[in-house]
Structures are given as C-alpha cells and as structure tokens.
Chains A and B, each alone.
Chain A
Amino acid sequence: MWIIAPLLCGLVFGAGLLISGMVQPTKVLGFLDIFGAWDPSLLVVMVAALAVSVPGFMLADRSARPWFGGQYFRPGKSGIDLPLVTGAAMFGVGWGLVGLCPGPALESLATLSPGIIVFVVAMAAGMMAHDAWQQSRLTAQRSRELASAADG
C-alpha cells in the first residue's frame, strides 16, 4: 500500500499547480516578463511553498527513516560546478521560450494537447541525449585509463 503515498503526493502537487495557475504557460510567462505587464504570482507560489517545505524538510532531517522504510535520498548541496551552471542556463532558455517546465508539462499531458505531447517527447529526447552523452564520456574515460594502465 506504500504506493498510495507517492500517488497522493503527485495529486497534491498537481492540485497546487492547477490552483496556483502555474500549469498555464501564460501565467508563468507573465511572471518572467518583468518588462511587460508583470504578474508576481509565481513569486508568491515559491514563498508559500518554502513556508511549508523549510520546516517540513527540517522535520525530515530529524527522523532516521522515511515512514514506509528504505532510506532518505538526499542530493549533495555543495559544488557549484560548470554542469550545474550550464544546465540551469539551458533550462532557463527552454523555460523562457514557452513557459513550460517539467511538472506543468507532464500534468498537461492530461489535456492531450498536441503541442504538449510534442514538448514532452522533445524533453524526454533531451534527457536521453544527455544520459547517452554522459555514458559515452564515461566509457571513453575508462578506456583511456585502461590504455594508460597497460602502458604503465
């Protein structure tokens, strides 16, 4: 029954995007367009989300295990490196071009809009292209190491 928990979390997340209007690209672009008719709603969404999540994550930090067992998966916090900067910048360009980030894009699949489907397929292709590129870099690095080990 543990699978109910992530299902409900997805539902609550989706409700949040719907109620705040952030599922609509026009609403998001209204926030990003600071030189036009600026709509600060997204800022309120962020502040309200943080008002709940900051104390919530502190609570999670104090507990040893998640409710349904297993362990906490906590990404590292330090190391502002080139991939982080480049990746965030690429995401920013894509986000600014159409006003869609992954959450609203996937939620909007429910509308069966052809444009959304095309966006999500392109997004998945971008993710797989990144992973394939990483894999090939790792393989190349490993074969270089093997070659130098053989030389040495």
Chain B
Amino acid sequence: MANFTPVSAAIGGALIGLSAVLLMLSTGRIAGISGIFSGLLNLRGEDKGWRIAFLAGLMLAPVIAGWIGHGMATPALPANWAVIVAAGLLVGFGTRLGGGCTSGHGICGVARLSPRSVAATAIFMVVAIVTVAVTRHVLGG
C-alpha cells in the first residue's frame, strides 16, 4: 500500500460529493458525467446549457490548477491505440446501456440508496477488478 494517499483522497472525495449535492440542489440534476456528456451528442437543441457549463467547469479545473502551480500531469495510457479505442467504445456504450458510470451510479445513485445504482456499482467494480487481474497478472501486460 505504498501509494495510499488517504488525506488527499478524503478531501477530493468530499469535494466530489459536495459538487453532486450542489448540482442537485441548484439545478435539480444528477451529477452523472456519462449522462451529462451523452446529452450533448444529439442534435435536439433543448437542455444543453447546464451540461456545457458543468463540463466547461470540469475542464477548467486543471487549467486553474496550472495557473496556481499545480499543473496536471499528462495521464499515462496504454501504448496500444487499439486498447484505447476499445476501452472508449466499451465505456461509452456500457454507460449508456447501464444508465450511468462511477459518478452517476457510484456516487449519486448509491448516496440516494438506489438498488439499481448499488447493483451497477458492484458489477462494474468487480468486472474492472477482474479485467485488471487478467490483463496484469494472467496475460502479464
């Protein structure tokens, strides 16, 4: 557990929870990033303003962090482009089919004590753990 960072994890987690609560209280919306983003991908015009504003804020965070000297490191991704594309397609299709991701089901849904979200969260956690176990320890990636 050499990489365990409980203090920053607790502060960051509390901010994520606070954001979800504030979005619900202010605009009545669930802070589910897959749902917020996918709502921008159709051509119908309604209901886009708050989505664009939320995602703009999300992307502004690393920019502001950079201004105050805490620039974000470029995320480390697999060298294999096919893996990146396959993962993106699975995340996109899967979150639409399952109706949410780590934020919508994992934080908001679980906090609302939704059985659907608890089930979804348990499934994607276990499947992701198995996927990492297979790619890292069975296939030895």
- CB-contacts of A92-141 with B (<8 A): 92-98, 100-111, 113, 115-116, 118-131
Which residue from A45, A60, A70, A106 sits with its C-beta under 8 Å from B16?
Answer: A45
Closest B residue, CB atoms, query A32 = B132
A146 within 8 A of B: no
The answer to whether A66 and B25 have CB atoms under 8 Å apart is: yes
Query: 23 interchain pairs (CB within 8 A)?
Result: A6-B29, A9-B19, A9-B26, A13-B58, A20-B5, A20-B11, A35-B137, A38-B1, A45-B13, A45-B16, A65-B28, A72-B24, A77-B117, A88-B123, A89-B127, A91-B95, A94-B88, A95-B102, A97-B135, A100-B75, A106-B55, A122-B84, A127-B34
Residue of A2, A105, A120 with most partner-chain B CB within 10 A? A105
CB distance from A92 to the nearest CB of B (A): 3
CB of A59 within 8 Å of the partner chain: yes
Interface residues of A in 45-99 (CB under 8 A from B): 45-54, 56-57, 59-60, 63, 65-68, 70-80, 83-98
Chain A residues bordering chain B, tally (CB within 8 A): 115
Kindly state the separation between the CA atoms of A9 and B93 in the bound complex, as whole angstroms.
26
| A interface list, Cβ under 8 A from B | 2-27, 29-30, 32-42, 44-54, 56-57, 59-60, 63, 65-68, 70-80, 83-98, 100-111, 113, 115-116, 118-131
* B interface residues with partner A (beta carbon < 8 Å): 1-6, 8-31, 33-34, 37-38, 41-42, 49-51, 53-65, 70, 72-78, 81, 83-117, 119-121, 123-133, 135-137
Take A25-B75, A118-B84 as given contacts and tell me if A32 and B56 are in contact as well, using a CB distance cutoff of 8 Å. no
Q: Assuming A38-B1, A42-B9, A87-B98, what are 19 further A-B pairs, CB within 8 angstroms?
A: A9-B26, A10-B19, A10-B58, A16-B14, A16-B18, A18-B12, A46-B13, A52-B14, A53-B107, A60-B24, A89-B123, A90-B94, A91-B101, A92-B94, A94-B87, A95-B131, A98-B77, A111-B62, A119-B77
